[in-house]
Amino acid sequence: MSTRTILDRYQTSASYLARILLRFSGLLLTVYMLTYIWELSTVIRTSDEPAGTAAAAFNTAMAAYNTTFWHITHAVVVALVVLHALTGLRVLTLEAGFGARFQRASFWLSLVLTVALFVLLFIKIIANLAA
Domain spanning 14-130, CATH class? mainly alpha
Burial class (CB in 10 A: 0-12, 13-18, 19+), 64: exposed
In terms of average pLDDT, the best of 9-13, 89-93, 100-104, 112-116 is 112-116
pLDDT of residue 49: 62
In terms of average pLDDT, the best of 12-21, 28-37, 40-49, 99-108 is 28-37
Structural element, H or E, at residue 47: none
Q: What is the pLDDT of residues 30-72, one digit of tens each?
A: 999 998 888 878 776 665 666 667 677 778 878 888 888 888 8
Q: Confirm whether pTM is higher than 0.85.
A: no
Please give the Cα distance from 21 to 77 (Å, whole number).
14
Burial class (CB in 10 A: 0-12, 13-18, 19+), 90: buried
